[in-house]
Chain A
């Protein structure tokens, strides 16, 4: 059962589009797995839309410059073709339009929804599907800990981390902040016990000892929201611990 959720403020910022992209990704993936937060997001979206509608108090004068611009804009827009069929859009000048157009077509072959590790297949939440192609190879780190990096462009690097059955990590403290989403399995860390779907926020001087529970191990998706201070020249051996544990 999911017990750990994003805060109400985080969900609100997410709906408004003001939460940072990397954390939005975590929140969105959590919502894929959590009906409660999904519902919250729906209600919040409706409420923000209502605010947008009522926010417009200034009247646009028919003779004003704005009214003229709007008239111009309206006639430009209605000359655009519909994208209902596979029609080609001639005015696709903006990146996002191209991507929207592309994505409205049949899904491409790389439409993976799962990742594999050691013969096991994990189904990912919808939000993370596009990042499967951006996921590097799994590397065995230490003991029962595996890691695959996910390139988020300028947003930094996230990681899929797999803790094997009863795999554990030495006690450590955090510097900065870290978000962890449990994709599959359970783990405990001496502070709490986390289940599939849990959204975990770690910061400050918390000390914990993550350990997978159960015999199937635990897959998590983890993002560090700011560059690590010892990023340069970091070893594979230290990488998982620096990202996850020794910050």
Chain B
């Protein structure tokens, strides 16, 4: 029975505004009645356009067709999520395609478990909840730092302690120790450089 669906290519004469209303009605028919004929109209209008867009963006015929297929599959399966009050059919379909392309590119770069399009543009979902615990290991423990810290020259240690442990400003430290601000800065810098060198040597 699918053979009977006409493959029309004559939508180009329709004005954008009328077209938006027309496409909007088709999408509603798809959502409410799974109307294949209406979907075919939407498909025939958007699929070639999506393909051109994808070809320009991705420069690859197979990827472009994959994008068209995934986008239009979502339109078919999630037509109920389209809301004409929120935007035109073309904007909705564009955002679906954009999201899929974003995720396709991530996948091509072998990226897993990072930023996904649903987080950025929740076009096709209300909530995203993906429990995934990935604790980060710190390479150096505080004990190590504390140990290295103790080996700093006394004057540098005092400055670093006041700033980093007590949270004082450099000016405050300068005032308390009655030394110029520039000296506080240089001592801090030297101390941090020293710590960094020691940490690198420790590895």
A94 to B107, CA, bound (A): 11
Query: How many chain-B residues does the 8 Å CB contact rule pick out?
Result: 102
- Provide the residues of chain B in CB contact with A247, threshold 8 Å: none
A99 to B76, CA, bound (A): 17
Task: Say yes or no: B116 contacts A99, CB within 8 Å.
Answer: yes
* Given A70-B7, A82-B80, A142:B163 Cβ within 8 A: yes
Give me 8 other A-B pairs in contact (C-beta within 8 A), A52-B53, A52-B94, A78-B2 excluded: A21-B115, A25-B120, A74-B44, A107-B126, A133-B132, A134-B132, A151-B136, A233-B200
Task: Say yes or no: A84 contacts B196, CB within 8 Å.
Answer: no
Q: How far is the CB of A131 from chain B (nearest CB, A)?
A: 8
Identify the closest chain B residue to A78 (Cβ).
Answer: B36
Interface centre among A42, A56, A171, A239 (most CB of B within 10 A): A56
Q: How far is the CB of B46 from chain A (nearest CB, A)?
A: 8
Contact with A along B65-81 (1 / 0, CB 8 A): 10011101110111110
Interface centre among B102, B128, B185, B199 (most CB of A within 10 A): B128
- Provide the residues of chain A in CB contact with B111, threshold 8 Å: 21, 153-155
- Provide the residues of chain B in CB contact with A110, threshold 8 Å: 129, 131
Identify the closest chain B residue to A102 (Cβ).
Answer: B130
- Count A-B contacts at CB 8 Å: 263
A67 to B112, CA, bound (A): 35
Identify the closest chain B residue to A60 (Cβ).
Answer: B48
Query: How many chain-A residues does the 8 Å CB contact rule pick out?
Result: 91
The interface-forming segment of A3-11, A162-170, A180-188, A197-205 is: A162-170
* Given A53-B16, A77-B73, A232-B203, A17:B101 Cβ within 8 A: yes
A130 to B134, CA, bound (A): 13
Q: 6 closest A-B pairs (Cβ-Cβ)?
A: A143-B167, A153-B114, A142-B164, A49-B94, A21-B115, A56-B49
